[in-house]
A and B are shown apart, each in its own frame.
Chain A
Amino acid sequence: MADNVKPKVRVPKTAAAGEAITLKTLISHPMESGQRKDDAGNLIPRSIINRFTCEFNGQSVIDVTMEPAISTNPYFEFEATVPEAGTFTFTWYDDDGSVYTESQDIAIG
């Protein structure tokens, strides 16, 4: 498991029912591409987050297949519709089998 993997999300606290809101996510991760060599000239093995999903109350907002060209500390920004009060769940899947999750509630108001 990569060290110090820390997800951060930006979600509004409230929205109107049916409103489109902007979500931003970041996760600290080296995203080792598998292309780089170490000082001894050996290829550093690939170790990336390969999938990111965002769901709201169990329904998909976005599901991203991630490849080595995604930068260190992967960033995503996208828009979600908020039909009702509930919870956004963000999940990152690491090559090493680790799964990182973050969730945030949103109220209707």
Chain B
Amino acid sequence: ALGASVAAAMPFRAFADASEDSIAAFTGGAEMGTEGLTLTAPEIAENGNTVPVEVSAPGAVSIMLLATGNPTPDAAIFNFGPLAASQTASTRIRLAKTQNVMAIAKMADGSFVQATQEVKVTIGGCGG
């Protein structure tokens, strides 16, 4: 199911230590808002090795994408240039297990916003 977008407020400490360093490096420890960034990912991954994710934050300078449940959570940092028509980008990421995918946008004024969505990675099998 593509198309759901959730921007849930999650306490910072909810993310495993591996993510914390990356987040701190990107934000410098700044507070993060929860409005203005849309993270779109499937509820269930068709294939955990290639999960489509879209991030969109109008007015962002850059957006970091993290797979918080992976041993190495970093996925990408999108830096938007002057000819970006929107601050929107899609890619495909690996998810080792069911987890929260997280995006953090750095806005033009130096503030940060974040969004997370849980993506279920299932063993699968069985069918009607």
A and B pair up: yes
Binding site for B on A (CB under 8 A): 20-21, 33-35, 55-56, 59-81, 83
Q: B-side binding surface: helix, strand, loop or mixed? A: strand
Pick the contact of B89 from A20, A35, A62, A69 — CB < 8 Å?
A62
Please give me the residue from chain A that is nearest to B51 by CB atom.
A71
Can you name 30 A-B residue pairings with CB atoms under 8 Å? A20-B86, A34-B72, A35-B71, A55-B81, A55-B83, A56-B83, A60-B81, A61-B80, A61-B81, A62-B80, A62-B84, A63-B81, A65-B77, A67-B72, A67-B75, A67-B76, A68-B72, A69-B75, A69-B76, A69-B95, A70-B94, A71-B92, A74-B92, A76-B90, A77-B89, A77-B91, A78-B90, A79-B84, A80-B83, A80-B84
Q: Is the CB of A69 within 8 A of B67?
A: yes
Number of interchain pairs (Cβ within 8 Å):
104
Residues of A within 8 A of B92 (CB): 70-71, 74-75
